[in-house]
Amino acid sequence: MTAFDFNGMLRVALAELKLSPSVFWAMTPYEFMTMTGRTPADMPMVRARFDVLSRAFPDTKENDHDRGSE
């Protein structure tokens, strides 16, 4: 599980975005990140997510699109 900097997020929400605390706490982290111009896709990939993708899409001869025809 990825940790969120809730104190930093709250500081941005209240001071910069001028949201009320109740509006901030009703938002999902994705909604908040979208309001700040970032989405989870902008964040670095953590090892656990990489491992999940590696298992779902293993490197094999059949799906090796980077090497072209050999």
Question: Is 49 inside any structural domain?
Answer: yes
> What is the Cα–Cα distance from 12 to 29, expressed in whole angstroms?
13
The structure tokens 């509006």 sit at: 23
**Number of domains composing the chain:** 1
pLDDT recorded at residue 1: 45
What does pTM read for this prediction? 0.49
Residue 25 lies in a domain: yes
Q: Give a yes or no: residue 47 inside a domain.
A: yes
Please give the Cα distance from 59 to 57 (Å, whole number). 7
In the numeric block, which tokens belong to residue 50?
A: 């990489």
Per-residue pLDDT of 1-58, as tens digits, reads 457 788 888 899 999 999 999 999 999 888 888 888 877 676 777 888 889 889 999 9
pLDDT in the model for residue 64: 58
